[in-house]
Structure 1
Amino acid sequence: MPAALLSVEVLVGALVVLVALVVVGLVLRRRALARGRILTLCGLRRGDATRFRMGLLRLGQDQLEWFPLLGVTLRPADGWARTEVDVETSRALPGPERPDLLPDAVGVACHTARGEFELALLPAHYTALRSWLESAPPGSRANVA
């Protein structure tokens, strides 16, 4: 019986260490992605999709970049130049559309030459996105409706 108990203790200890390593990895990835830039939790929905894919939205100097929430890569899954993104006004998301991780999120329709997509952001983060777009360098067009 003591050998079985020792095996269970070792298994539980290994699982605890594994969970701790995953959490530390996620925190380090998030810090590496931010690198002094604005990074926020958001949902991305393309085309006819009914659900938002959760991820991290980074506002760079001239790029808007989206990273999947869970993953190991430090490269964005999608990105758009500041000058090519047209953002509409926000709209309240109905209950079934609202992402679970962002219960107070608003929907923001975005248009680019490559297609349309929608972001789910907290209202304060939507304001930050609009400010980022409106503060484009001189000579750039403002893409906020």
Structure 2
Amino acid sequence: MERTGRDVGEFVAQVTPATRRSDAETLVALLRELTGREPQMWTGSIIGFGACRYRYATGTTGEMPLLGFSPRKAATTIYLDRTDAHTEALAGLGPHTTGAGCLYVKDLAAVDEGVLRGILSDTLRRVVDDELPGATITVLD
């Protein structure tokens, strides 16, 4: 994954539908607050905050944001360290679905912001503290 240099504000202004655009604006503000970093566009329409390098035991390496999300038409995808680490918190979040490391939210206003904030803070802590199973993490910025 790479940073693209695309303007985040221009990208968010073009997001549809309007609910997804509003959710993107809210998440940009929230993740900026949580990370203390400015948003950057990454490959695949991902809005990321900060950057780190990962290395798996297999030797696979790459870069990724410390926290990030992608406002897709069907739902906003929020990237977590892994969803099974947040089972209890996710039970109290509100309407959502999950994948192995993705949280899908169709309407951010329908979820508990405090719970979401806790999940995102915990994910950020695990990434920064290099606590991802099977990977070594080095924070770049």
Q: Kindly indicate which of the two structures has a greater share of residues assigned to strand.
A: 1
Shared fold, TM over 0.5: no
- In the superposition, the TM-score normalised over structure 2's length comes to 0.30
The TM-score normalised by the length of structure 1 is 0.29
Comparing both chains, which one has the higher relative contact order based on Cα–Cα distances under 8 Å and sequence gaps of 6 or more? Answer: 2
